[in-house]
Structure 1
Amino acid sequence: MEIVIANKSHSHYATVICETIEDAAQVRGTGIAKRKPAYIISKMEKGNAVIALDGDKFAGFCYIESWDHGKFVANSGLIVHPNYRGKGLATKIKKVVFEHSRTKFPEAKVFSITTGLAVMKLNSDLGYKPVTFSELTSDQSFWKGCQTCKNYDVLTRTEQKMCLCTGMLFDPKKQQEQKETKKIKGKVFTRLKSIKQTLFLKKDKK
């Protein structure tokens, strides 16, 4: 199994990718936005997609979408072919496309919208935090992309405030702040521990 950054040479897989996404939506009965082959091909040509291949057989796929001039990025269209499900492939694809997103858009907030518990858990492991939709991009082209979802009427009736999906966000700035806070707390703890040990040693000498 090989997971690579997709390019123009993978364009012939676009049709089967779209068919697999549509079939999955029907089986799950959940809101998965439909995509056309031309759209998938455009992602491949720009290096904004990841594809999993078993030799020359399609196994899985996920692509990157950006909004607000690259301030927000999403990993969308995660799909695994039925023949390769239950083997942890979705997790591997998600990790690869997440790292690729961080490399191409290091300052961007990365978000994910899903109804799947498995994807929510995976997102959490990668550092995503659950957020309200108001914290996601306000770019109207994003919401337009939701129109092919069966649950789109919920968004229109609630003025884009509610959805059956769960929004999750990875904020690189907050992650860095948390790391710095942990470092400071760690240094303070080490310093206090050293002081306590010194005091105990002085007490024992007395």
Structure 2
Amino acid sequence: MENTDIIVRVATPDDKHYAKTITDEMESSAKARGTGIAKRSPEYVQLKMEEGKAVIAVTKQGEWVGFCYIEAWGHEKFVANSGLIVNPAFRGHGVAKAIKHRIFDLSREKYPDAKIFGLTTGLAVMKINSELGYEPVTYSELTDDEEFWKGCRSCVNFDILTAKDRKNCLCTGMLYDPAQKLKEAEEKAMRDRAAAANKTVNMQPQMMVAANGAMQQQKKHRLFKDNFRLFERWLRYKRYVLLKGGNNSAASHAKKKFFLFNLF
């Protein structure tokens, strides 16, 4: 973080006096972006501080800088880092990134087995998420907890979400799955051991050795963080389709087909 005068830490009950300022800025920021968020009261934010499920950024002089909190869903099988907000006077100093990293660590500490997810329209947040290991996913891979989805009712795009049977919207779903990350780490360790045991490996790069000695084809996939510009193009197109909507002409379908072919 660029500004060394800013402290990012777990919020405590002593921070409750910041709650009204935080919720006011959440609402103001959502209106400025033309999007909606689940509205939260100062009392709700204070509760998160009391529970130790929030991260706050303040200056050494005590000025509020940023905030984010944790919500658990689906019997704690899913965790969301919600309400990320930064004081406009301190934007552009890496505050959001520092808060996201700290709230992610706090989520892993409190819910080590939970999948961490989020919905966002912000490319900056998506970039930070990708650094933490999140991957873009379909909405079906997120929590089915109705209480979570009720929060979307205050969003200006809620009609799009309902029209798409809650399968798509302008937000991108992103997920960190600890079980999948553990599997990937084990597979990498297996490959590293195989390479160390045989420095003159003649295997093709896409092949790996399974635990039973059998050869397995490793699934190829695009790395999200390494193909972010491609993803930006997809988001612009997704926004165009969902906001324009209803165009079922042959020309429209041909345009979509051409775009997707060149995208992937």
Q: Normalising by the residue count of structure 2, what TM-score does the alignment of the two structures yield?
A: 0.72
Cα distance in 2 for residues equivalent to 1:195 and 1:120? 37
Specify the code of the residue in structure 1 equivalent to 2:27: E
* Structure 2 counterpart of 1:178, from 162, 184, 195: 184
Number of aligned pairs? 196
Q: Within 5 Å, which residues of 2 pair with 1:1-206? A: 1-54=6-59, 55-193=61-199
Higher relative contact order (CA 8 A, sep 6+): 1
The answer on whether the counterparts of 1:2 and 1:52 sit within 8 Å (CA) in structure 2 is yes
Identity value in percent: 52
TM-score by length of 1: 0.91
Q: CA offset at residue 44 of structure 1?
A: 1.0
**Residues 64-91 of structure 1, C-alpha deviations (whole Å, 9 max, x = no match):** 0001111100101101001100000000
SS of equivalent to 1:124 = helix
Query: How far apart are the structure 2 equivalents of 1:105 and 1:124?
Result: 20
Shift of 1:151: 1.2
Question: Structure 1: which 4+ aligned runs deviate by more than 3 Å?
Answer: none
**CA shift digits 1:119-177 (9 cap, x unpaired):** 00110010000000000000000011111111112222222111110000000000010
Instruction: Give the Cα–Cα distance (whole angstroms) in 1 for the partners of residues 15 and 178 of structure 2.
Output: 31
Task: Supply the distance in 2 between the matched residues of 1:35 and 1:195 (Cα, whole angstroms).
Answer: 57
- Tell me, what secondary structure is at the counterpart of 1:18? helix
Contact 1:129 1:169 in 2 (8 A): yes
